Amino acid sequence: MFSVEFQAYGYVAATIFLTVALYSYIYHLYKNRRDADGHDYEEYSNMALHDGIEDTPVNSLPKDDKK
């Protein structure tokens, strides 16, 4: 049926195609970091690293004295 040579060409072509698809998807994610409302959700990834009580919050809430 198929020789080993055709399988090798198919493997190389699939590897190149998947690599290009992966890098184009990563570029798409970083190019469109903000959603339609203008929120940059990459800021929220720092919440796992900076979760101490003395750290500043990602989104600070307005302080209302009226309760």
Non-local CB neighbours of 43 within 8 Å, separated by 6+ positions: 58
What is the mean pLDDT for each group of 10 consecutive residues in the chain (67 residues)? 87 98 90 72 74 76 69
The pTM of the full predicted model, rounded to 2 decimals, is 0.53
- Give residue 57's pLDDT: 74
Which phi and psi (to 5°) does residue 38 adopt?
95, 10
Provide the CA 58 distance to its chain's centre, in angstroms. Answer: 18
Whole-angstrom distance, CA of residue 46 vs CA of residue 48: 5
How far is 24 from 31, CA to CA, in rounded Å? Answer: 10
Report the DSSP beta bridge partners of residue 49: none
